[in-house]
Amino acid sequence: MQQVNLGMIGGGTVGSGVFHAWQKNGGLMAARLGVQLVFRKIAVKAFDEPRPYPIARDLMTTDWQEVVNDPEIHIVIELVGGTGIAKTMVLAALAQGKTVVTANKALLSAHGPELFAAAAKSGVNLYYEASVCGGIPIIKSLREGFVGNRITALYGIVNGTCNYILSRMKFEGADFAAVLADAQKLGYAETPPDLDIDGHDAQHKTGILASLAHGFWVDHHQIHTEGIRDVSKIDMEFAAKLGYTIKLLGIVKQIQSAAANRAPQIQVSVYPALIPSAHVLANVNQVFNAVFVRGDVVGDTLFYGRGAGKDATASAVLSDVADAALDLKNGTKVRVPPFVAHVKKGRVAPLDEVTSQYYVRFSVVDKPGVLAKIAAIFAAAKIGISSVIQPEGHEGESVPLILMIHDAPNAAMRKALAKIAKLPVVKAKPVMFRVENLQ
């Protein structure tokens, strides 16, 4: 049986998880692949650093270059994270003609084109299944399983921390700050939690999915990103009464171009949105992830599972290692390239050009004529109101007023809300969430 030697950089939580999974199921993988996978060297920060699973002492080194430069190592697994030294490590391994497997979404988001160009120059592959949604095989599905489809829409719950927070807010009627504090105590949220709750982690993942689905690299700077800090208990309650659930979504959609000669356009965004509570995506709760994909041939599909953690990530890493080992066994340079094909010159549309429906909550003075003043500004902007809720039982200097808005361009909506916010009868900044009906 052919032997393929593995080297790994990073032996912490995820790295030791990969090593443990290999110890558990390496024999099973060999039987399925016809390839014996053998760990030759693992670079770690320190031999005695805390890790959930032990790593054999004779395999460890504190010098990552011993992994990259070892001529006997065929596949390098990068699990360091970040965009600094990790980039140097990956480029060094690719330059040595080694296939690289990475779980580093931030690195791919920031330097994807350079890394994939380096892999192509060396005639090797760069695998990255573990970079998006942990144990869900969404990368392989988009690259290979849906190769006969144009992806017309993709909606992803891709950050488990935010989904955990929003789930508890919905089911317990809890406040954002209290649930965030619990999430940090349980280890679901970092301190500080900005990467997750401000949407940046979801941005990295959504950009990778968009690039893969549409065949051209999506720069993460082009992705409109909003987090969940402004989602409140009261908005969860009103959304539920209207038949919706609020989820942080990564959104990739084809949109119609106003000009016939303009390059194909896609919306790539991350923001909290109201989605129908009856939809399967609305029922993905706690720390789980899900990606809803619509193809022009296959129709609607849903991928669901754990999006993070040492075991889910280890499963994805070993899947990539299996593909890389089969490449070596069969002498395959590249099977389905990562980012090519049908619309390489596509365009990410600015959010102002995207049309949406909206939920808007105002805090207004409780007196006659307020709604008329707000409606007049919307009417002047040619924005239609589909429904109005002014709940009873609220007393004080201001009361909530909730409007559901028909399809309108984001630019028009943004300008109208800015005007409304200046009205003397409006006592706080309007709260606005987009509505995605997933149709």
Catalytic residues: 205
Match 């990467």 to its residue by tokens: 195
Q: Where are the alpha helices (DSSP H) in 61-159?
A: 64-68, 85-95, 105-122, 138-140
Give whole-number Cα distances, 253 to 79, 153, 316, in Å: 31, 4, 26
> Hey, CA dihedral for 361, 363, 368, 372, is it positive or negative?
negative
Instruction: Measure Cα distances from 210 to 205, 293, 429 in Å.
Output: 9, 11, 32
242, 250 Cβ separation under 8 angstroms: no
- Angle formed by the axes of helices 105-122 and 85-95, to 10°? 20
Token pair recorded at residue 261: 């000669």
C-beta separation of 99 from 4 below 8 A: no
What CA–CA distance (Å, rounded) separates 424 from 369?
A: 12
Alpha-carbon distance of 151 to 334, in angstroms, equals 22
Handedness of CA 400, 403, 409, 415 (dihedral sign): negative
